[in-house]
Structure 1
Amino acid sequence: MYKLIRERLQTLFPIWLGTAIYAFGLHYFIIPNQLMEGGITGIALMLNYIFHIPLSITTLITNIPLFLIGWKIFGRQSMLYTIFGTASLTGFLWMMEWIIHRGWLVPFKTEQDYFLVTAYAGLTLGIGLGIVFRYGGTTGGTDIIARIVQKWRGWSMGQIILLIDVLVIGSAIFFLPKEQILYTFVAVFITSKVIDIIIEGAYAAHAFMIISDHAEQVVHAITLHTDRGATMIPAFGGFSKNPKNIVYCVVYRQELKRLKDLVRSVDPRAFIIINEVHDVLGEGFKPE
């Protein structure tokens, strides 16, 4: 029991920390300089700029229906870290609003060097999201929508997220100066690169080669608990000459830790090789 609690805390604390850094970046760099973000956060920022609705309220309200849909489609276990990440983000957004309102923190606002703000905004948001993704969490919103569309339509998660981000940021052209929109795209680019660095890979996808005496159980667990398929490749031990099966599976960076934990839960002695993938064509990824 103690070991289980410790393992959960080792995963939940980094997600909690990552959402704190992300919330700080939004309130310290993004909002005072009227920059944008993609996804649900971008929609919350637009509502804040137009109607002055606090980010914490909008983030929570817009995610609740997505939670209910995701819970029904993907199940409780799959949504656990997403709900925790979004709840943590909402709490830290509210805390930042309270701290700024009381004058304990003065946001960084500039009218001269927007590139400096853009660079630090991208760095801060990238560090926060990178930590969240590395430990198997998400901040809800776009990730849930992308998973739902991928399940129903088979489109790539990366393409869905990119499309949503472009639509949200692009729509801000109607009420924000175009310079702010262009600086936002720079910040989003920096954020994505920092996320990749923190998750230890410059590419969105990674390939798993799993050598296990329980290959069939590993494949069953992957197909049951994730939206990914897996292939068994016949092989035999070079020293023992015993027949084996190698499990091959490709996943997005957000799914790295989840798949590693899943394999370890089936076979703690499994030999796992993870490679960066430069390009992936086919179902669930980029269409040919």
Structure 2
Amino acid sequence: MTWPAGPRWMWKWLSILAGALIYALGLNAFLVSNHLAEGGFVGISLLFLYLLHWPLGLTFFLLNIPLLWIGWRVFGHEFIVLTTGGVVAVSLFSSLTARIQLPTHDPLLGALYAGVVTGLGLGLIFRSGATTGGSDIIARLVRHRYGVSMGRTLFSIDVCVIGIVAVLIGRETAMYSLVALFVASRVIDFVIEGTRRGKALTIVSDHPEAIADAIHRQLERGTTLFQAVGGFTGTPRQVVYCVVSREEVVRVQQIVHAADPRAFVVVNDVHEVLGEGFTR
């Protein structure tokens, strides 16, 4: 077996290490110091910390050992190697940053801080192609064996962990922890998608060529013309489809209105926009 090398592999590891450090800081500085919880295996590790005073980093690492071994046998080696790196880095940095405490007077403010910082760290780890193990490996195993979506499995695990937190720690702690989880999920999406997000416009008009030509000239964006048939009228016509940045949506709408005030326009969010004009 040959291990990948080169700049791409190096940047993956740097991203994992940076993300693990930021994530560990978010855990200790905001979650632990404000006595909040998390979902997944980190949430379980925090319960052991609060109830039995077991070290967060060590508990998290021990919980992941059997799952990493199973994942190694089931999935590709590159994924498990990167994920093992993420687990080890999070465990190590969680121990090294354990003394960093930044408690807030308002638990809600602490939850918001925790969500932003942990979401940033996890986003960097996920963007590198790794995970922090635990629930992510279980979700992959369940999808591999039973075909259940990863999102559904992850959500179920988080609900169970937060439910246990509500029973053992308190309902207020569970609610503030949910706030932190929600904020973290939004930040993760932003970090992973970054500037590759855009808007797709589907334009139904009697003047498709004029609209497409104006978009080409004024925005220097490409368009695609689809042949379509009106479902109600049965009239054949062309539909203009284009993807632009979020800042350019209003300009496209102005172009369409100037060419055909009666045009029908649908605007959708799109993710991972790759290609000319966006990212290479």
TM norm structure 1? 0.65
- Residue 130 of structure 2 corresponds to 137
C-alpha distance in structure 2 between counterparts of 1:43 and 1:130, whole Å: 21
- Residue in 1 that maps onto 2:235: none
SS of 1:29's partner is: helix
Q: Using a 3 Å threshold, how does the CA distance of structure 1 residues 128 and 38 change in structure 2: closer, same or farther?
A: same
Q: Equivalent residue for 1:67? A: 68
Unaligned runs of 5+ in 1: 203-274, 278-288
Q: Which residue does the alignment assign to 2:261?
A: none
Q: Check if 1:35 corresponds to 2:18.
A: no
**Match of 2:91, as an amino acid?**
T
Q: 1:18 aligns to what?
A: 19
Output the CA distance in 2 between the equivalents of 1:108 and 1:134: 27
- For 1:276, which of 267, 271, 274 is the aligned residue? 271
**Which amino acid in 1 is paired with 2:193?**
E
Partner of 1:51: 52
Look up the SS of the partner of 2:36 in the other structure: coil
Report the Cα offset of residue 60 of structure 1: 0.8
Pairing partner for 1:184 from 171, 174, 177:
177
Instruction: Report matched runs for 1:1-288 at 5 Å.
Output: 4-97=5-98, 100=99, 105=100, 107-110=101-104, 112-200=105-193, 276=271
**Unpaired stretches in structure 2, ≥5 consecutive residues:** 196-269, 273-280
Q: CA deviation at 1:5?
A: 3.2
What CA distance in whole angstroms lies between the structure 2 residues aligned with 1:165 and 1:179? 16
**Contact map agreement 1:19 1:132 (CA 8 A) in 2:** yes
User: 1: distance between equivalents of 2:131 and 2:160?
Assistant: 21
How far 1:78 sits from its partner (Å)?
2.8
Q: Contact 2:135/2:157 (CA < 8 Å) preserved in 1?
A: yes
**Equivalent residue of 2:271, what SS?**
strand
Give the number of aligned pairs.
196
> In structure 2, what is the Cα distance between the partners aligned to 1:199 and 1:134?
5
In the TM superposition, residue 163 of structure 1 has moved relative to its aligned partner by: 0.6
Alpha-carbon distance in structure 2 between the residues aligned to 1:164 and 1:90: 20
Query: Contact (CA 8 Å) 2:123, 2:188: kept in 1 or not?
Result: yes
Residue 42 of structure 1 contacts residue 168 of structure 1 at CA under 8 Å; is this kept in 2?
Answer: yes
The amino acid across from 2:181 in the alignment is V
Give the TM-score taking structure 2 as reference length.
0.67
Instruction: Quote the Cα distance in structure 2 between the aligned partners of 1:80 and 1:53.
Output: 26
SS state at 2:193 partner: coil
Misfit runs of 4+, over 3 Å: none
CA distance in 1, matches of 2:194, 2:124: 13
CA apart distance, 1:173? 1.4
Shift of 1:201: 6.9
Higher-Rg structure is 2
Amino acid at match of 1:276: H
Q: For the residues of structure 2 that align with 1:77 and 1:46, how far apart are their CA atoms?
A: 31
**Contact 2:79–2:130 (CA under 8 A) maintained in structure 1:** no
Once residues 94 and 118 of structure 1 are traced to their aligned partners in structure 2, the CA distance between those partners, rounded to angstroms, is 21
SS of the equivalent of 2:169 reads coil
Quote the offset at 1:4 in angstroms.
Answer: 3.0
* Deviation, structure 1 residue 80: 1.3
Q: CA deviation at 1:276?
A: 3.1
